[in-house]
Amino acid sequence: MKISQAAKRVNVNQMMDVSVDVHKDKLNFFFEAGNKEYVDECQNRSTVIEGRLSCYRQIGAANDMNILRVICEPTGEYHKKLFRIARRMGFETCFVNGESVAKFRVIETNDTGKTDTKDPRVIRTLGRLNKVIADRTISEDYMVLRKLGMMYDEGDQANTRLRCRIDRLLVELFCDYSFKKDFLYTPSGMALVEIYGCNPYRIVKAGYGRFSARMKKAAPRIREESLQRLWNDAQSSVHTGQPEEYVATLESHFYQLIDDWRGQKKRKDEMVRRMIETLNRLREKDPKCLIRFLRTLILYCPNGLPVLIHRPPLLYRGVRFKSNLIVFFSSILLSV
């Protein structure tokens, strides 16, 4: 015997679908109530939207329509204001797929052209057929965690771009620099940045004795072999004979990029701190929620946690987890 979950049935006679075509500056509405069609347009402003929805609610109540639902295509950001106000006023909210609207427009209007008056009608038809996508609503902590995750990922990408720019500039400034890229971000590399700005002309001008003494004072654990190698790289690089003013310009820009990288790193650390605080609040409310989720992921992966690094973004209760954040959260939560 085959058993499947039946789709939830909605009595369309008791539901009033307010279909909306959302733009940056305006909204186009269409809905039906009491054998009448209503077409409206207003500014995409909070106070105006609230007034229009209040009016539509009165129309629905006058026609014994107890359920009011706002439907639109996802627009990224412009629809969020409408949906927040609608939910606060007791409306249901849901989406229709933009591709479905484009294809159904041809069926309903026999025309591929898009207009502000056609699309709300097409959205209405899709709503009556219940071809809608649920609008996820999550608690405040999960909203904060999702936003912090997105911000962390954007910061990580910005950090990578900054490091690429620093590496390119370093090749131009210190052309025979022979260390790996990561050396620059170690305590020894940061000492080289702070004291000499990775400028080989300044290193050679100081002389090996002074160069070695200052580097050892700033980075006591640096090895003698590394100092000798840096000195040889600097001596080799100065043979290109770049103009002094040009080298000073490169060095100044190098310091600016390093400062930007440090600022970005500081912002990432602050986001991590806030994520930990949010996770602690979630654990107080439901100690097992994220732990169960992460353990399920690890058990699901046949090769363990490293497999998650190469997986696409994952969703849990509307929270988008990037792979690097999954590894980070795992290290915190699985130790509980």
The Cα 93–Cα 132 span in angstroms is 10
pLDDT of residue 327 exceeding 70 = no
Residue 329: predicted pLDDT: 53
Would strands 67-72 and 92-95 be described as parallel, antiparallel, or unpaired?
A: parallel
236 burial level (CB within 10 Å; 0-12, 13-18, 19+): middle
pLDDT of residue 211 exceeding 90 = yes
* DSSP single-letter state for residue 20: E
CB atoms within 10 A of CB 264: 18
Between 258 and 303, whose confidence is greater? 258
Mean pLDDT, residues 21-31 taken together = 91
Lowest mean pLDDT among 116-130, 178-192, 278-292: 278-292
Residue 295: predicted pLDDT: 56
Between 55 and 77, whose confidence is greater? 55
Grouping H, G, I as helix, E, B as strand and the rest as coil, residue 33 is strand
| pLDDT tens, residue by residue, 226-245 | 999 999 999 999 988 889 99
User: Residue 258 — very low, low, confident or very high, per pLDDT cuts 50/70/90?
Assistant: very high
Q: In the numeric block, which tokens belong to residue 148? A: 């912090």
Torsion angle of alpha carbons 306, 307, 310, 313, nearest 10°?
Answer: -100
Angle between helices 244-285 and 323-333 (to 10 degrees): 50
Q: Which residues does 171 contact at the CB level (< 8 Å), separation at least 6?
A: 177
Residue 328: predicted pLDDT: 52
Residue 34: predicted pLDDT: 83
Give the chain's count of helices (H) and strands (E).
12, 8
Q: Which residues does 181 contact at the CB level (< 8 Å), separation at least 6?
A: 163, 167
Residue 310: predicted pLDDT: 42
The Cα 105–Cα 94 span in angstroms is 19
The Cα-based distances of 141 to 12, 147, 285, 318 in angstroms read: 35, 10, 10, 11
The Cα 317–Cα 146 span in angstroms is 10
Pick from 255, 163, 165, 166: nearest CA to 202: 255
Lowest mean pLDDT among 191-195, 205-209, 322-326: 322-326
Lowest mean pLDDT among 49-53, 246-250, 321-325: 321-325
Query: What residue has token string 């310009």?
Result: 249
E-assigned strands of 226-305? none
Residue 316: predicted pLDDT: 45
SS (H, E, C) 125-136: HHHHCCCCEECC
Mean pLDDT, residues 128-133 taken together = 87
Across-strand partners of 336? none
Lowest mean pLDDT among 12-26, 114-128, 274-288, 312-326: 312-326
The Cα 141–Cα 154 span in angstroms is 20
Residue 4: predicted pLDDT: 55
| pLDDT tens, residue by residue, 150-204 | 888 888 889 999 999 999 999 999 999 999 989 999 999 999 999 999 999 999 9
Mean pLDDT, residues 112-118 taken together = 72
Rg of the Cα atoms in the chain: 30
Share of the chain above pLDDT 70, in %: 80
Angle between helices 187-196 and 244-285 (to 10 degrees): 140
Mean pLDDT, residues 51-68 taken together = 90
pLDDT of residue 137 exceeding 90 = no
User: Residue 284 — very low, low, confident or very high, per pLDDT cuts 50/70/90?
Assistant: confident
The number of residues in the chain equals 336
User: Residue 324 — very low, low, confident or very high, per pLDDT cuts 50/70/90?
Assistant: low
Q: Residue 165 in contact with residue 257, Cβ under 8 Å? A: yes
The DSSP annotation for 41-107 comes to EEES-HHHHHHHHHHHHHHHHHTT--EEEEEE---TTHHHHHHHHHHHTT-EEEE--HHHHHHHHHH
At residue 65, what are phi and psi to the nearest 5 degrees? -100, 105
pLDDT of residue 334 exceeding 90 = no
Structural domains in the chain, sorted by start: 12-134 (3.30.420.40), 153-263 (no CATH), 286-333 (no CATH)
